[in-house]
A and B are shown apart, each in its own frame.
Chain A
Amino acid sequence: MVRFLAAIGAAFLGFLAAAGRLAIFAGLALATALTPPFYFRAILLEMVNIGYFSLPVVGLTAVFTGMVLALQSYTGFSRFSAEGAVATVVVLSVTRELGPVISALMVAGRVGAAIAAEIGTMRVTDQIDALTTLSTDPLRYLVLPRLLAGIITLPVLVVIADIIGVFGGYLVGIYRLGFNAQAYLNGTWQHLETTDVVSGLVKAAVFGFIIALMGCYHGYHSRGGAEGVGQATTHAVVSASILILVVDYLITAAFFGR
């Protein structure tokens, strides 16, 4: 029994230590934003990498998410003659929840893994030590641009995903379920509030930070050659995905948990 409790205690202490290391890493990286030099070119490059190149995958998932949502809502709601709520359900679900979460999970898979692999490879091939010997702070040069790019680009991606997702629902509503186009659009706009969109964008910014942070953290601390880099990549994607879902609940509770 004592051994069992000791194991739980050790696991809990290990969790706290890991959380502390992550917080210190993030704090040190963000603190480099307060003093020059600033690597604007690196931030722009990362914004293109994280944002622009994620557009196809985010757009595709958003359109099918909106389409499936419209179809599912219709078949479900028709059981109690509430088909008229389909447009509203689609727009609220997409802007509040599915737009940010599904975009973030897709970007975590695409970008979080790539960041961890790139920085991890730099770690195991001494490139990060080389940066230091060339009087360049790796946290300032490698980590901060990715964190800022994640925070800036995810909300933009989510705005686009929201529009495409709602459009997907519209397509199914009009061409498959036989809604009147004007009535569908009215249903979309009528109950949409600013908070619905803003909460989604706040989530997106936080998710962008989480994705970049987990990629950078696991890559930066990878050890042991190709196997270590592979593990860092897996850890980056898994931890970012779990954190996205946990933080999604917390932000939802903060905005709507009355």
Chain B
Amino acid sequence: MTGPQSAPKIAVRGLRKLFGRKRVLDGLDIDCASGESVVIIGGSGTGKSVLIKCILGLLHPEAGSVRIDGIETVGLRRAARERFLQKFGMLFQGGALFDSLTVWENVAFGLVQGRGMERRAAREVAFAKLAAVGLGPEVGELRPAELSGGMQKRVALARAIAAEPEIIFFDEPTTGLDPIMADVINDLIVRCVREVGTTAVSITHDLVSARKIADRIAMLHHGRIIWEGPTAEIDRSGNPYVDQFINGRAEGPIQMEIRAA
């Protein structure tokens, strides 16, 4: 693994995002060093996915700064954003595979459409990436709808790593999978982060997954990072919010918003 360097690969400062009157992100700060795997934990609806979408430029924040390799990316124009997005890979929670394409075309999509690679060469890369996530060549010609949830997740992972991006985001990579398949996905994530030296930012509720894939864990609550530290220190964080979350207790400072029907 590449050791964390002094200049952060990703630097987020004062990020604010509103939906109507609701402040989802409220002056959020976080850094991620090159080659580091950071996992952001937090309850449902606390803005974890919104944070990733703001970094990628899929959502436009009301205020704040997102610097990638020191370059400001908030407010980039369309063409510049397309170029800057070539640094990123993204594993979506539901896979987000294209139904109308075969599995190998999904994996090769970013290479062919985004980078102009020849279809034949991209096909070879796609099959190699499918093999890297444990899927045989027979899967390549199937449609995503013909695969199980776990296989779809692996295909989505193959697509995320196909172009060997510098930074990969994992949105709930193990949600909806059985524990064994979840561990397979965790191993794949660890392998592609540690072996290739990719910078990884993951969001998850799954503490088992977080402990396995993270160098550092950060907790998001009320639109801000309320605790961050090395994975090994999460059990002795001394933060009552973190303690309540990792122990899964209903009682504590985090109050779930439950509305009567």
The answer to the question of A130 belonging to the interface, with a C-beta cut-off of 8 Å to chain B, is: yes
Chain A positions within 8 Å of B159 at CB level? 134
* Residues of A within 8 A of B (CB-CB), count: 17
Chain A positions within 8 Å of B249 at CB level? none
A136 touches B93 (CB 8 A): no
- The interface centre, meaning the residue of B83, B109, B159 with most chain A CB atoms within 10 A of its CB, is B109
B90 touches A133 (CB 8 A): yes
The answer to the question of A125 belonging to the interface, with a C-beta cut-off of 8 Å to chain B, is: yes
Chain A positions within 8 Å of B23 at CB level? none
The answer to the question of B98 belonging to the interface, with a C-beta cut-off of 8 Å to chain A, is: yes
Chain B interface bracket (under 10, 10 to 19, 20 to 34, 35 or more) = 20 to 34
A132 touches B93 (CB 8 A): no
Chain B positions within 8 Å of A37 at CB level? 113, 116
Chain A positions within 8 Å of B115 at CB level? 135
The answer to the question of B82 belonging to the interface, with a C-beta cut-off of 8 Å to chain A, is: yes
Among the listed A125, A136, A141, which residue makes an inter-chain contact with B96, where contact means beta carbons less than 8 Å apart?
Answer: A125
A129 touches B113 (CB 8 A): no
B56 touches A133 (CB 8 A): yes
The answer to the question of B21 belonging to the interface, with a C-beta cut-off of 8 Å to chain A, is: no
Chain A positions within 8 Å of B13 at CB level? none
Chain A positions within 8 Å of B207 at CB level? none
A141 touches B58 (CB 8 A): no
Smallest beta-carbon distance A43→chain B, Å: 14
Chain B positions within 8 Å of A136 at CB level? 82, 109-110, 113-114
Among the listed A122, A133, A141, which residue makes an inter-chain contact with B85, where contact means beta carbons less than 8 Å apart?
Answer: A133
Q: When chains A and B are docked, how far (Å) is the Cα of A122 from the Cα of B106?
A: 14
The answer to the question of B86 belonging to the interface, with a C-beta cut-off of 8 Å to chain A, is: yes
A126 touches B93 (CB 8 A): yes
Instruction: Decide: A126 near B85, CB < 8 A? Known: A134-B109, A134-B110, A137-B78.
Output: no
Among the listed B82, B88, B109, which residue makes an inter-chain contact with A137, where contact means beta carbons less than 8 Å apart?
Answer: B82
Chain A positions within 8 Å of B113 at CB level? 37, 39, 134-136, 141
Chain A positions within 8 Å of B92 at CB level? 126, 129-130
Q: When chains A and B are docked, how far (Å) is the Cα of A62 from the Cα of B44?
A: 54
Contact with B along A34-63 (1 / 0, CB 8 A): 000101000000000000000000000000
The answer to the question of A127 belonging to the interface, with a C-beta cut-off of 8 Å to chain B, is: yes
A135 touches B96 (CB 8 A): no
Q: When chains A and B are docked, how far (Å) is the Cα of A130 from the Cα of B85?
A: 11
Instruction: Decide: A133 near B98, CB < 8 A? Known: A126-B93, A141-B113.
Output: no
- A-B contacts, 15 of them at CB < 8 A, read A37-B116, A121-B99, A122-B98, A125-B94, A126-B92, A129-B58, A129-B90, A132-B85, A133-B58, A134-B85, A134-B114, A134-B159, A135-B85, A135-B86, A135-B115
Residue of A nearest to B109 (CB): A134
Chain B positions within 8 Å of A122 at CB level? 98
Residue of B nearest to A39 (CB): B113
B96 touches A126 (CB 8 A): yes
